[in-house]
Chain A
Amino acid sequence: MNLAKLKAALRLPAVLVALMAVLTIVSPRFLAIGNLSNVLWSVCVIGILASGAIYAPITGGIDLSIGSIAALTGIFVDLLMNRAGVNWLLAIAATIALGAFIGLFNGLITTKFKVNAFIVTMAAKTYLYGIAMVISQGGMKSILKPAQFLAIGGGRSFGLPNPIYIMLALIVLSHILLTRSSFGRRAIAVGANEVAARLSGVDPDRTRMAAYTVSGATAAVGGIVLASLTQQSFAGAASGIELDVLTALVVGGTSLMGGSGSVVGAFIGAVMVAFIGNGLNLLNVPAPYHPTATGIVILLALIFNMGIAPRKRGAAGGKHLRRTS
């Protein structure tokens, strides 16, 4: 690894350490073990969602429906286990399949009807919320059993909360998928230049649909973990989390214009978003103010990213699929 690369790779961790340092100075409680593991809880859900949501922006799209998918799947898994009496493992499998299916549906509309992903997934966010409201009767439900299910989010293994393992597993898996798999290669190629990718034998539509499917499936995993962790399910469970995830992605260096992204970066981004939230808590800033911080962070990160890699001009997008001689 040469020096420039090393520098680039260390930039984000350096910012993270700096942030931790600032938080420690501002509030000495920050570094306390109890506080750090508190942060990790909130890192987990954002990290799980980000591990899959990263593929939409990499292909040049976006998935804003993940929060609603997470809430809906949380309700769904509860209904399956505690209303329909389905075995908890089977229920989880079915729930992840549901998330994947919703994602596939988003991808299908985006690619086949050539509708902007932002509109499709934002509308999906709205109607999925409605569906969640309808099937949950608009109420909040406590999930009291089965114990195995509650252990997913609430239990500990080797001294650490289980969601941390799930998140780390998904981050590693997604990192491998992005950097080592043929799908990852295709996703990056489509986002970088759809036309050139197509001429090299990549099917942009299929790649995009796969991206949204992955996004939906991990949102379902996030929903399951969240439901298990909080022991409750309701339609507003993860509302607004898409902005946190988006911030984590952008802070982690994922381009919203497509063609580049880093899962490890997204993980660090998730930690940073959670730290900022935690820092605000420690400073007695109530949680509802956090979107203000998130909004500012995302804008700054976007502007900062632009300084590093200027926005591509006209490299992506179907409009260049024109015939010329």
Chain B
Amino acid sequence: MSLAALRRLILIGLMLAIGAALATAHHVFLTMGNLMTILQQGSLTGILAIGFTLVMITAGIDMSIGAVVAVTSMVAVNFLSYTKIPVLLFLPLSLFVGVVVGSLNGFFITRFKLPEFIVTLAMRGILSGLALMIAVRDSTGFIQNVYIQDPTYLWFGGQAGPVYIVTIAFLVLAFFTQLFLKRTRAGTNIYATGANPAAARLSGINTTRTIVGVYIFSGVCASLAAVFISSQMMTAMPDLGIGTEMDVIAAVVIGGTPFTGGVGDVWGTVIGAVFLALLKNGITVLGISPWIQPIVVGGIIVLTVIADVWYKGLAEAAAARGARRARDAAADGAAA
């Protein structure tokens, strides 16, 4: 069995164990409503995490996604408040926010060879202010808490039967992204760029285009998530989504996409996102202080990364030992 498959099995096993424990601890947990809420929460993080996974496979990072959510939802509520343009017409325009931000991120990273985290962190700062600037205000200049009433827009936050629309969208997006990653040349280029950029260039891959591409995709995923999040909340504040980066990172790293790039996939991230949603739900269901959530998220990131690095080190050391022993054996054979 491959390591990735083993990891997934362990995660699913853990989820079942936690689920069983929660089910015995509280009767609310195992209700259909609660389970669907877990999936809904996991899907909201998950849509962001899908784009983020691609960035991480190129060994990059995108700290701007939360702020993209904020700006996109502000753009959307502006359309809703000030225009009569139908939702389905302005939605593509909102998604364009992600395209622009992703292009800028990719441009600064590739053109000036600046570290990814600092570029996207700066972008996060820029966008968080921008979200405030474009927020809908009342006549006295205070930011207005817009209540979204447009039924088409609210449809995105709704359910189809017991399942939330966002969960369906998430799974569909996951399926196609996975297909793209594993079954197209462009997807293969993403892995190659992250695993060994020099070799990728040597093989004729345009790594600049690949990197700009994944940041654009990440931005679009964030914009998409913004629609679902604001629709579910039926409102949007200018700080919507800011800070969710850490949840997303946690979901991606538990799912088996490391910071070092070159490996990972979307199904891992799907499991990671649901896993994280389950943990958070557990915290709520058990009535534990929600303040420990950041501790859990930060702790998961550190522990997962340490475990991954440690395991990788062990595997590499074992491989190196094996190779050296083989060399000695061969040398002995030659000497004999």
Q: What residues make up the interface of A, taking CB atoms closer than 8 Å to B? A: 62, 109, 113-116, 118-120, 122-131, 133-134, 137-138, 235, 240, 243, 246, 256-257, 286, 288-296, 298-299, 302-303, 306, 311
Contacts and interface: CB of A to CB of B under 8 A. Distances in A.
Contacts of A295: 121-127, 129
Given A123-B298, A256-B115, A292-B126, A243 B292 contact: no
Interface string B293-336: 11111110110011001100100000000000000000000000
A292 B125 contact: yes
Contacts of A294: 122, 125
Nearest to A112: B306
B27 interface: no
Contact of A123 (B129, B130, B301): B301
A311 B122 contact: no
Interface in B120-174: 121-130, 132-133
A292 B130 contact: yes
Contacts of A302: 112, 114, 118
B108 interface: yes
A115 B126 contact: no
Contacts of A256: 115, 118
Nearest to A125: B298
B291 A119 contact: no
A291 B299 contact: no
A243 B125 contact: yes
A115 B129 contact: no
A216 B294 CA distance: 20
A260 to B, nearest CB: 15
7 contacts: A125-B298, A126-B246, A127-B299, A130-B295, A246-B121, A292-B128, A306-B112
Contact of B294 (A119, A120, A130): A130
A126 B298 contact: yes
Q: Which 9 A-B pairs have the closest CB atoms?
A: A292-B129, A127-B298, A130-B294, A295-B125, A126-B298, A130-B295, A133-B291, A291-B125, A295-B126
Given A124-B302, A130-B295, A298 B122 contact: yes
A130 B293 contact: yes
Contacts of A243: 121-122, 125
Interface of B is mostly: helix
A114 B121 CA distance: 23
Given A115-B309, A123-B302, A125-B298, A130 B291 contact: yes
B31 interface: no
B259 interface: yes
A125 B301 CA distance: 12
A126 B309 contact: no
Contacts of A306: 112-114
Contacts of A113: 305-306, 309-310
B117 interface: yes
B184 interface: no
Contact of B259 (A116, A235, A286): A116
B83 interface: no
B203 interface: no
A268 to B, nearest CB: 20
B274 interface: no
B251 interface: no
Contacts of B221: none
Contacts of B2: none
Given A115-B302, A134-B295, 9 more contacts: A126-B301, A127-B297, A128-B298, A130-B295, A133-B289, A293-B129, A295-B122, A296-B126, A299-B108
A127 B295 contact: yes
A197 B8 CA distance: 42
B276 interface: no
A292 B238 CA distance: 14
Nearest to A127: B298
Contacts of B128: 288, 291-292
Contacts of B305: 113, 115, 119-120, 123
Nearest to B297: A126
Contacts of B121: 243, 246, 295
A288 B108 contact: no
A298 B118 contact: yes
B119 interface: yes
Contacts of B113: 306, 311
B122 A299 contact: yes
Contacts of B129: 288-293, 295
Contacts of B249: 122
Contacts of A128: 298
Nearest to B129: A292
B298 A130 contact: yes
A114 B306 CA distance: 8
Nearest to A303: B112
Most B CB contacts (10 A, CB to CB) among A62, A109, A113 go to A113
A122 B313 CA distance: 23
A125 B243 CA distance: 11
A302 B246 CA distance: 25
Contacts of B123: 295
Nearest to B304: A123
Nearest to B239: A288
Nearest to B301: A123
Contacts of B302: 109, 115, 119-120, 123-124, 127
B298 A119 contact: no
A138 B125 contact: no
Contacts of A62: 117
B306 A109 contact: yes
